[in-house]
Amino acid sequence: MPRKKKLPLPAFATREEAADFWDTHSPLDYEGTEILDEPLRVKRPLVHTLQVRFDVEDLDALMEEGQRIGVPSSTLVRVWVKEKLAEMRARQKSAS
């Protein structure tokens, strides 16, 4: 039996729109959604945690910003810390 031609992936305006679409469609019918022949290799998981205290206003602001852009507040904080560390390293590199 010949393989059915795969459809192009549609563009979605929101995550909700994508979720509604995938609730009623099979990803195997769309381009770029082939089943892998080899196992997927995943980067080593993050293993260290750091507990940080925030006052209520700052925590609320972090949670609201995370919701606004669609990421958990912990991911948002981790990204911001990594950006700041990269800036510090760049300044140190240019100073030496």
**What are the pLDDT digits (tens) for 3-55?**
678 888 888 888 888 888 989 988 888 877 666 677 767 777 777 888 999 99
Tokens of 85: 């560390």
pLDDT for res 3: 66
Q: How far is CA 35 from CA 31, 40, 42, 50, 95, in A?
A: 11, 10, 16, 37, 49
Asked if residue 33 lies in contact with residue 22, where contact means CB atoms within 8 angstroms, the answer is: no
Asked if residue 6 lies in contact with residue 31, where contact means CB atoms within 8 angstroms, the answer is: yes
Query: What's this model's pTM, rounded to 2 decimal places?
Result: 0.50
